[in-house]
Amino acid sequence: MSASPVTVRAVLVTPLLLATAASANGAFETYGADARSRGLAHADVALPSIAAAHTNPGALGLADSELALAVSYTLDLPALEIALAAARAVDDPLAPARPPVVSALNLAATQPVDLVGEDRLFVGAAAYFPTSVLVRARAFDPARPFFAMYDSATEHYDVSVGAGLRLVEWLHLGAGLRLAAGQRGDVQLAVDPVRGRLVQQSMDTFQYPTSAPVAGIVVGPLGVDGVARVSVGAVWREPIAFDVALPATLVIEGADVDAVLDVLVLANYEPRSLTAGAALWAARGLLVDVEAQWAMWSAAPPPMLVTRVDLGGEGLEALGLDATLDAPAPGQDRVRSPGYLDTVVWRLGVEWRVLEPLALRAGYQYRPTPVPDQTSGTNIVDANAHVIALGAGVTMRLPHVFKQPISAEIGYQAQVLEERTATKTNPQDEIGHWAARGVVHALALGWTYRF
């Protein structure tokens, strides 16, 4: 047989993928930015902190006059379960997803910068690096049950940088950036199906920096030393996500087919938030911090893959199928806004300096869930959570090793989810009723050193 070449062109297939993965806070916002913060149930907006670049840039104005460094290792152990009324095999594609165990290294530092006078300007940084993956972006089928706030939410790096200004002894302002990255590029493929040959194959992709601004203020501490001092703090954070846009184009020569595959992932979305709180230093080394955080979850995108397939081109036009095979068709879209509600999180942290070198910590946090009742089609799992925290810090002198005292910190949280049930209103719902419960154990071990 002869093998006459065919050269026909046009656009036939245009699949579009818009993927938005886990929309949940990162590790810093979920647990706290360091071991001390974890032990206080993340109630630290009005407190000085080596991790102030994240907790509140305004608190950088309260930083030490020397370089301060904090390093910690964290381990997050989810013990969560989703019990389906109609059980599925473990390897079933729609079996409930299990959040992974995440371990990470936390780094934080503050440093005075004597540009505008001594101890007026401070800079700081806080970073979180999972030990097994740098970034995970995961988007499940809309029907698959998964824990929205714990699945892959904390399995990505988190970096904050900031600067704080001590205007006067009791007024501190700060601003910073939460750093992230985006991924862009494209893939170009062309195939000749008659010859069975790829006639074009190229790729160009790059990561680019993104950021979200953070601004904070701390007023205080005001009061009488040894009696009572109060500080008030507030921090505003803009939303942030990890964007991936990687379109791939496939041209099928001879059949009037072009397939354009647009992959857009808005992974690891964290909402706009405002946190405000107050701290009280009382007698006998007692510190109490209370705060509330409003999180604008209502603006969150769907935490799943949004895909569109557009089939068109001269070939399909000739067959009268130009718009016929597009998906999803009207009314058939399985991805919609999740309908999250804004939430207000309440936090209480207590630190008691029992002895000068020893501090004990405890905290409580009530985290309402932004996820509404799952009644049909989706199974985004989350529940109101009660966070119980414990922690301690010991300051030691090791003169033969360190010139300055070094502190060892430990923090533990149990994030206990209220049992939540889903009663489906649609008898054809693929998953059916379910009940979710469990606890996430979050542990941090670290040390701080002030040079």
Partner 1 sequence: MTLRAVALVAVIAAGCGAVGVAAPQVVGAREDTGCPAANDALAHTKAALELPGVRALRPHLERVLVEHGGLRVLIQGLAAMLTDVDQETFAHLRAGLNPEVGLGSLTPHLVEVLRYIDGSSAHVAGAHPEPLAAVHAMLDQCPAPATLSTTRRLLELEVRADPAGAWVLAAPGAGERSWLGAVLDAVRAVASDPVFVAALEDLELEDESEGDGTIRVGRDAFRLLSSILVANLAAPDFDPEAARALLDDALSLRITDPAARAKLDAALDVALLIAEPSADVFPQTQALMGCLNDADEDAAIGGMLYDWLTVDALPLEAFLDDAAETAGVDTATDLRLALVDMLGAVEARPALAGDVTIVLGELLDEEAAPALVSALLAVQGQGALHELLGLVDGVEQCRGLAP
Query: Which residues would be at the binding site for partner 1 (CB under 8 A)?
Result: 1-4, 6, 8, 141-143, 193-194, 254-256, 294, 314-315, 317-321, 323-325, 329-344, 346, 366, 368-378, 380, 383-384, 420, 425-426, 428-430
If residue 39 lies in a helix (H) or strand (E), which one and from where to where?
helix 35-39
Q: Cβ distance 423 to 433 under 8 Å?
A: yes
Please report how close the Cβ of residue 261 comes to partner 1 at its closest, in angstroms: 21
* 201 strand-pairing partners: 189
> Which residue in this structure is represented by tokens 């496939």?
250
Output 112 or 370, the one with its CB closest to partner 1: 370
For the CB of residue 13, give the shortest distance to partner 1 in the complex, in Å: 14
- Closest approach, Cβ 111 to partner 1, in A, equals 37
Q: In the complex, what is the shortest distance from the CB of residue 420 to partner 1, in angstroms, rounded to a whole number? A: 7
Residue closer to partner 1 by CB (options 111, 369) is: 369
Euclidean distance between CA atoms 121 and 105, whole angstroms: 27
Report d(CA 146, CA 97) in Å as an integer.
Answer: 5
- For residue 25, the minimal CB distance to partner 1 (Å) is 15
* 355 CB-near residues (< 8 Å, 6+ apart): none
Cis status of the peptide bond prior to 221, with omega within 30 of 0: yes
For partner 1, the closer of residues 169 and 419 by Cβ is 419
d(CA 291, CA 403): 36
Cα torsion through 17, 23, 26, 27, rounded to 10: -120
Report the nearest approach of partner 1 to the CB of residue 24 (Å).
Answer: 14
Nearer to partner 1 by C-beta: 198 or 319? 319
Contacts for 293 with CB less than 8 Å, ≥ 6 apart: 45, 273, 274, 275, 276, 344, 345, 347
Indicate the residue among 52 and 316 with the shorter CB distance to partner 1: 316
Token code pair at residue 48: 């000085």
By beta-carbon proximity to partner 1, the closer residue of 186 and 430 is 430
- Type of residue found at 25: N
